[in-house]
Structure 1
Protein backbone atom coordinates (compact mmCIF):
# COMPACT_ATOMS: atom_id res chain seq x y z
CA UNK A 1 0.00 0.00 0.00
CA UNK A 2 1.30 3.44 -0.91
CA UNK A 3 0.81 6.23 1.62
CA UNK A 4 0.70 9.77 0.26
CA UNK A 5 0.14 13.16 1.87
CA UNK A 6 0.85 16.29 -0.13
CA UNK A 7 -0.02 19.81 0.96
CA UNK A 8 -2.17 21.74 -1.48
CA UNK A 9 0.50 24.38 -2.18
CA UNK A 10 2.90 21.70 -3.42
CA UNK A 11 0.61 20.60 -6.22
CA UNK A 12 -0.56 23.86 -7.77
CA UNK A 13 0.16 22.50 -11.26
CA UNK A 14 -2.79 20.13 -11.01
CA UNK A 15 -5.46 22.66 -10.05
CA UNK A 16 -8.33 22.32 -12.49
CA UNK A 17 -11.33 24.68 -12.42
CA UNK A 18 -10.72 25.65 -8.80
CA UNK A 19 -10.55 22.11 -7.45
CA UNK A 20 -7.53 19.97 -6.82
CA UNK A 21 -7.34 16.81 -8.90
CA UNK A 22 -4.92 14.07 -7.83
CA UNK A 23 -4.74 10.24 -7.94
CA UNK A 24 -5.46 6.98 -6.19
CA UNK A 25 -6.65 3.82 -7.82
CA UNK A 26 -8.84 1.00 -6.77
CA UNK A 27 -9.30 -2.70 -6.88
CA UNK A 28 -11.79 -4.82 -5.01
CA UNK A 29 -11.84 -4.89 -1.22
CA UNK A 30 -9.19 -7.10 0.28
CA UNK A 31 -7.44 -7.38 -3.08
CA UNK A 32 -9.96 -9.91 -4.36
CA UNK A 33 -10.89 -9.92 -8.03
CA UNK A 34 -14.46 -10.75 -9.00
CA UNK A 35 -13.91 -11.37 -12.72
CA UNK A 36 -14.66 -14.81 -14.06
CA UNK A 37 -12.04 -16.74 -15.97
CA UNK A 38 -12.82 -18.62 -19.14
CA UNK A 39 -11.81 -22.25 -19.68
CA UNK A 40 -8.27 -21.24 -20.71
CA UNK A 41 -7.76 -19.27 -17.50
CA UNK A 42 -7.94 -15.86 -19.23
CA UNK A 43 -10.16 -13.10 -17.85
CA UNK A 44 -13.64 -13.38 -19.38
CA UNK A 45 -14.91 -9.97 -18.24
CA UNK A 46 -13.93 -6.43 -19.16
CA UNK A 47 -10.58 -4.95 -18.17
CA UNK A 48 -10.37 -1.52 -16.55
CA UNK A 49 -8.02 0.48 -14.37
CA UNK A 50 -10.10 2.57 -11.96
CA UNK A 51 -8.35 5.34 -10.02
CA UNK A 52 -9.39 8.25 -7.82
CA UNK A 53 -8.08 11.81 -7.68
CA UNK A 54 -8.84 14.23 -4.91
CA UNK A 55 -8.06 15.81 -1.58
CA UNK A 56 -9.05 15.60 2.06
CA UNK A 57 -9.27 18.31 4.72
CA UNK A 58 -9.77 17.92 8.47
CA UNK A 59 -11.01 20.87 10.53
CA UNK A 60 -12.35 20.58 14.11
CA UNK A 61 -13.92 17.13 13.77
CA UNK A 62 -15.17 17.68 10.22
CA UNK A 63 -13.60 15.77 7.36
CA UNK A 64 -14.12 16.97 3.79
CA UNK A 65 -13.39 14.65 0.87
CA UNK A 66 -13.38 15.73 -2.79
CA UNK A 67 -13.01 12.85 -5.22
CA UNK A 68 -13.05 12.28 -8.99
CA UNK A 69 -13.05 8.65 -10.24
CA UNK A 70 -11.17 7.89 -13.43
CA UNK A 71 -10.84 4.88 -15.71
CA UNK A 72 -7.63 4.38 -17.67
CA UNK A 73 -9.31 1.61 -19.69
CA UNK A 74 -9.16 -0.33 -21.85
CA UNK A 75 -12.91 -0.96 -21.25
CA UNK A 76 -15.67 1.37 -20.10
CA UNK A 77 -17.55 0.51 -16.89
CA UNK A 78 -21.25 1.25 -16.30
CA UNK A 79 -20.55 1.91 -12.60
CA UNK A 80 -18.15 1.18 -9.75
CA UNK A 81 -18.11 1.78 -5.99
CA UNK A 82 -15.38 3.56 -4.06
CA UNK A 83 -14.93 2.78 -0.37
CA UNK A 84 -13.68 5.44 2.06
CA UNK A 85 -12.39 4.08 5.40
CA UNK A 86 -11.42 6.29 8.34
CA UNK A 87 -9.26 5.75 11.41
CA UNK A 88 -11.85 7.64 13.51
CA UNK A 89 -15.54 6.94 14.18
CA UNK A 90 -18.19 8.83 12.26
CA UNK A 91 -20.83 10.79 14.17
CA UNK A 92 -24.23 9.06 14.41
CA UNK A 93 -25.93 11.38 11.91
CA UNK A 94 -24.47 12.03 8.48
CA UNK A 95 -25.84 13.99 5.52
CA UNK A 96 -24.29 12.01 2.67
CA UNK A 97 -24.15 12.90 -1.00
CA UNK A 98 -26.52 11.17 -3.43
CA UNK A 99 -25.24 7.71 -4.34
CA UNK A 100 -23.35 7.31 -1.04
CA UNK A 101 -24.15 5.10 1.96
CA UNK A 102 -22.64 4.50 5.37
CA UNK A 103 -21.66 0.84 5.83
CA UNK A 104 -20.09 0.92 9.28
CA UNK A 105 -18.88 3.11 12.10
CA UNK A 106 -15.89 4.19 10.00
CA UNK A 107 -16.83 3.43 6.38
CA UNK A 108 -18.73 5.08 3.55
CA UNK A 109 -19.21 3.81 -0.02
CA UNK A 110 -20.19 5.88 -3.06
CA UNK A 111 -21.08 4.91 -6.59
CA UNK A 112 -18.90 6.47 -9.27
CA UNK A 113 -21.43 6.56 -12.07
CA UNK A 114 -20.43 5.51 -15.57
CA UNK A 115 -16.68 5.40 -16.16
CA UNK A 116 -15.94 5.76 -19.86
CA UNK A 117 -12.82 4.24 -21.37
CA UNK A 118 -10.01 6.73 -20.60
CA UNK A 119 -12.48 9.09 -18.91
CA UNK A 120 -13.83 10.42 -15.63
CA UNK A 121 -16.90 9.64 -13.56
CA UNK A 122 -19.00 12.00 -11.45
CA UNK A 123 -17.41 14.27 -8.86
CA UNK A 124 -18.03 13.00 -5.32
CA UNK A 125 -18.04 15.33 -2.33
CA UNK A 126 -18.33 14.09 1.26
CA UNK A 127 -18.77 16.29 4.32
CA UNK A 128 -18.27 13.82 7.17
CA UNK A 129 -18.83 14.65 10.82
CA UNK A 130 -16.64 12.73 13.26
CA UNK A 131 -17.75 11.51 16.68
CA UNK A 132 -14.78 13.23 18.36
CA UNK A 133 -12.17 15.81 17.37
CA UNK A 134 -9.02 13.77 16.67
CA UNK A 135 -5.73 15.56 15.93
CA UNK A 136 -5.38 13.47 12.75
CA UNK A 137 -7.34 10.99 10.66
CA UNK A 138 -6.05 8.36 8.27
CA UNK A 139 -8.33 8.07 5.22
CA UNK A 140 -8.07 4.97 3.01
CA UNK A 141 -9.55 4.68 -0.48
CA UNK A 142 -10.15 1.56 -2.57
CA UNK A 143 -12.58 0.16 -5.11
CA UNK A 144 -15.21 -1.86 -3.29
CA UNK A 145 -16.95 -3.09 -6.45
CA UNK A 146 -16.10 -2.65 -10.14
CA UNK A 147 -18.67 -4.75 -11.97
CA UNK A 148 -16.38 -7.76 -12.26
CA UNK A 149 -13.73 -6.04 -14.37
CA UNK A 150 -10.14 -7.26 -14.15
CA UNK A 151 -7.38 -4.87 -13.18
CA UNK A 152 -3.84 -5.74 -14.29
CA UNK A 153 -2.39 -2.69 -12.54
CA UNK A 154 -2.91 -3.84 -8.95
CA UNK A 155 -0.07 -1.68 -7.61
CA UNK A 156 -2.36 1.37 -7.52
CA UNK A 157 -5.44 -0.21 -5.94
CA UNK A 158 -5.17 1.19 -2.41
CA UNK A 159 -4.10 4.53 -1.03
CA UNK A 160 -4.04 6.14 2.41
CA UNK A 161 -3.88 9.83 3.23
CA UNK A 162 -3.07 11.22 6.66
CA UNK A 163 -5.04 14.43 7.31
CA UNK A 164 -3.96 16.59 10.23
CA UNK A 165 -6.48 18.83 12.00
CA UNK A 166 -4.92 21.99 10.58
CA UNK A 167 -7.50 22.97 7.96
CA UNK A 168 -4.94 22.21 5.22
CA UNK A 169 -5.94 20.15 2.17
CA UNK A 170 -3.97 16.94 1.60
CA UNK A 171 -3.90 15.58 -1.91
CA UNK A 172 -3.97 12.00 -3.08
Structure 2
Protein backbone atom coordinates (compact mmCIF):
# COMPACT_ATOMS: atom_id res chain seq x y z
CA UNK A 1 0.00 0.00 0.00
CA UNK A 2 1.31 3.43 -0.87
CA UNK A 3 1.27 6.04 1.85
CA UNK A 4 2.45 9.58 2.39
CA UNK A 5 3.78 11.04 5.59
CA UNK A 6 4.45 14.57 6.61
CA UNK A 7 7.94 15.11 7.96
CA UNK A 8 7.75 18.04 10.38
CA UNK A 9 11.50 18.68 10.37
CA UNK A 10 11.41 19.41 6.65
CA UNK A 11 8.06 21.19 6.78
CA UNK A 12 5.30 19.46 4.72
CA UNK A 13 7.83 17.22 2.99
CA UNK A 14 6.63 14.23 1.01
CA UNK A 15 8.79 11.26 1.87
CA UNK A 16 9.59 8.80 -0.84
CA UNK A 17 10.29 5.63 1.10
CA UNK A 18 11.69 2.39 -0.18
CA UNK A 19 14.44 0.78 -2.14
CA UNK A 20 12.81 1.41 -5.50
CA UNK A 21 10.39 4.24 -4.87
CA UNK A 22 9.21 6.09 -7.95
CA UNK A 23 9.58 9.83 -7.86
CA UNK A 24 7.94 11.88 -10.57
CA UNK A 25 10.21 14.72 -11.65
CA UNK A 26 8.85 18.04 -12.93
CA UNK A 27 7.16 17.64 -16.29
CA UNK A 28 5.83 14.50 -17.84
CA UNK A 29 7.99 11.67 -19.01
CA UNK A 30 10.23 9.07 -17.38
CA UNK A 31 10.51 8.90 -13.60
CA UNK A 32 13.42 8.65 -11.21
CA UNK A 33 13.80 5.32 -9.40
CA UNK A 34 15.64 5.95 -6.13
CA UNK A 35 17.29 3.12 -4.20
CA UNK A 36 19.77 2.75 -1.35
CA UNK A 37 22.17 -0.19 -1.12
CA UNK A 38 24.39 -0.74 1.89
CA UNK A 39 24.76 -2.37 5.28
CA UNK A 40 24.00 -1.74 8.95
CA UNK A 41 25.40 -3.28 12.12
CA UNK A 42 24.51 -3.01 15.81
CA UNK A 43 26.80 -3.56 18.81
CA UNK A 44 26.10 -2.41 22.38
CA UNK A 45 23.65 0.29 21.28
CA UNK A 46 25.89 1.69 18.52
CA UNK A 47 24.55 1.47 14.95
CA UNK A 48 26.90 1.82 11.99
CA UNK A 49 25.23 2.45 8.63
CA UNK A 50 26.79 2.83 5.20
CA UNK A 51 24.97 3.06 1.90
CA UNK A 52 25.18 4.38 -1.63
CA UNK A 53 22.20 6.20 -3.17
CA UNK A 54 21.25 5.26 -6.74
CA UNK A 55 18.84 6.59 -9.30
CA UNK A 56 17.92 3.69 -11.57
CA UNK A 57 15.38 5.81 -13.49
CA UNK A 58 15.86 7.95 -16.56
CA UNK A 59 15.07 11.35 -14.97
CA UNK A 60 17.51 13.32 -12.85
CA UNK A 61 16.57 14.35 -9.31
CA UNK A 62 17.69 17.92 -8.51
CA UNK A 63 18.03 17.60 -4.73
CA UNK A 64 17.51 14.63 -2.45
CA UNK A 65 17.83 13.81 1.23
CA UNK A 66 17.52 10.44 2.89
CA UNK A 67 15.76 9.85 6.20
CA UNK A 68 17.04 7.08 8.46
CA UNK A 69 14.66 6.22 11.29
CA UNK A 70 15.21 3.72 14.10
CA UNK A 71 12.63 1.85 16.19
CA UNK A 72 14.52 2.89 19.33
CA UNK A 73 15.27 6.46 20.47
CA UNK A 74 18.68 7.91 19.76
CA UNK A 75 20.99 9.15 22.50
CA UNK A 76 20.73 12.89 23.12
CA UNK A 77 24.22 13.61 21.75
CA UNK A 78 25.28 12.43 18.31
CA UNK A 79 28.37 13.08 16.22
CA UNK A 80 27.07 13.07 12.65
CA UNK A 81 28.92 13.60 9.36
CA UNK A 82 28.59 16.85 7.41
CA UNK A 83 25.24 17.02 5.65
CA UNK A 84 23.43 14.99 8.33
CA UNK A 85 21.23 16.30 11.16
CA UNK A 86 18.94 14.79 13.79
CA UNK A 87 15.21 14.81 13.09
CA UNK A 88 13.23 14.13 16.24
CA UNK A 89 14.36 11.55 18.77
CA UNK A 90 14.52 8.55 16.38
CA UNK A 91 15.66 9.84 12.98
CA UNK A 92 18.49 11.45 11.07
CA UNK A 93 18.29 13.32 7.74
CA UNK A 94 21.28 13.22 5.40
CA UNK A 95 21.59 15.31 2.24
CA UNK A 96 22.31 13.17 -0.81
CA UNK A 97 22.11 16.03 -3.31
CA UNK A 98 21.34 15.79 -7.01
CA UNK A 99 21.25 12.40 -8.72
CA UNK A 100 21.55 12.08 -12.47
CA UNK A 101 19.32 9.66 -14.36
CA UNK A 102 20.90 6.19 -14.14
CA UNK A 103 23.37 7.77 -11.70
CA UNK A 104 25.07 6.80 -8.46
CA UNK A 105 25.55 9.26 -5.60
CA UNK A 106 28.34 9.59 -3.06
CA UNK A 107 28.49 6.90 -0.39
CA UNK A 108 27.18 7.92 3.05
CA UNK A 109 28.52 6.50 6.34
CA UNK A 110 27.34 7.36 9.81
CA UNK A 111 27.30 6.03 13.33
CA UNK A 112 24.52 6.72 15.81
CA UNK A 113 24.28 5.82 19.47
CA UNK A 114 20.93 4.54 20.70
CA UNK A 115 19.67 5.72 24.10
CA UNK A 116 19.78 2.11 25.37
CA UNK A 117 21.39 -1.11 24.12
CA UNK A 118 18.53 -3.19 22.65
CA UNK A 119 18.98 -6.71 21.29
CA UNK A 120 17.66 -5.52 17.91
CA UNK A 121 16.60 -2.38 16.10
CA UNK A 122 14.47 -1.80 13.02
CA UNK A 123 15.97 0.71 10.57
CA UNK A 124 13.71 2.40 8.00
CA UNK A 125 15.30 4.17 5.05
CA UNK A 126 13.43 6.62 2.85
CA UNK A 127 13.83 9.63 0.61
CA UNK A 128 12.84 13.24 1.13
CA UNK A 129 12.95 14.74 -2.35
CA UNK A 130 12.62 18.05 -4.20
CA UNK A 131 14.11 20.05 -1.35
CA UNK A 132 11.18 19.05 0.87
CA UNK A 133 8.45 19.79 -1.68
CA UNK A 134 6.53 16.70 -2.71
CA UNK A 135 5.97 15.85 -6.34
CA UNK A 136 2.55 14.35 -5.84
CA UNK A 137 3.63 10.92 -7.08
CA UNK A 138 2.92 7.76 -5.16
CA UNK A 139 5.09 6.46 -2.35
CA UNK A 140 6.05 2.85 -1.81
CA UNK A 141 6.38 1.14 1.57
CA UNK A 142 9.48 1.84 3.67
CA UNK A 143 12.68 -0.06 3.05
CA UNK A 144 13.23 -1.82 6.38
CA UNK A 145 16.20 -3.64 7.82
CA UNK A 146 16.11 -5.59 11.09
CA UNK A 147 19.55 -5.30 12.69
CA UNK A 148 20.45 -7.67 15.55
CA UNK A 149 22.99 -6.85 18.27
CA UNK A 150 25.60 -9.25 16.93
CA UNK A 151 28.08 -6.83 15.37
CA UNK A 152 27.35 -8.52 12.03
CA UNK A 153 26.47 -6.47 8.96
CA UNK A 154 22.93 -6.73 7.62
CA UNK A 155 22.70 -5.80 3.96
CA UNK A 156 19.94 -3.91 2.18
Give the TM bin, normalised by the shorter chain. 0.7 to 0.9
Aligned counterparts of 1:166 and 1:135: Cα–Cα separation in 2: 8
Determine whether 1:135 maps to 2:119. yes
- 1:158 aligns with 142
Aligned counterparts of 1:151 and 1:170: Cα–Cα separation in 2: 30
The alignment's TM-score, normalised by the length of structure 1, stands at 0.70
Aligned counterparts of 2:137 and 2:56: Cα–Cα separation in 1: 10
CA contact (8 A) 2:24 2:137 kept: no
Q: Which has the higher strand share?
A: 2
Aligned counterparts of 1:25 and 1:113: Cα–Cα separation in 2: 17
User: Structure 1 residues 137 and 103 mapped into 2: Cα distance closer, same or farther (>3 Å)?
Assistant: same
Residue 83 of structure 1, aligned match among 61, 64, 67: 67
Determine whether 1:96 maps to 2:80. yes
How far 1:26 sits from its partner (Å)? 4.0
Q: Which has the larger radius of gyration?
A: 1
SS in 2 for 1:50: strand
SS in 2 for 1:24: coil
- 1:109 aligns with 93
The alignment's TM-score, normalised by the length of structure 2, stands at 0.77
How far 1:113 sits from its partner (Å)? 2.0
- 1:6 aligns with none
How many residue pairs match? The answer is 138
CA contact (8 A) 2:54 2:103 kept: yes
Aligned counterparts of 2:30 and 2:84: Cα–Cα separation in 1: 25
Matches within 5 A, 1:41-80: 44=28, 47-80=31-64
Aligned counterparts of 1:102 and 1:77: Cα–Cα separation in 2: 23
- 2:12 aligns with none
Determine whether 1:118 maps to 2:102. yes
CA contact (8 A) 1:138 1:161 kept: yes
Structure 1: runs of 5+ lacking an equivalent? 2-22, 28-32, 37-42
Structure 2: runs of 5+ lacking an equivalent? 2-17
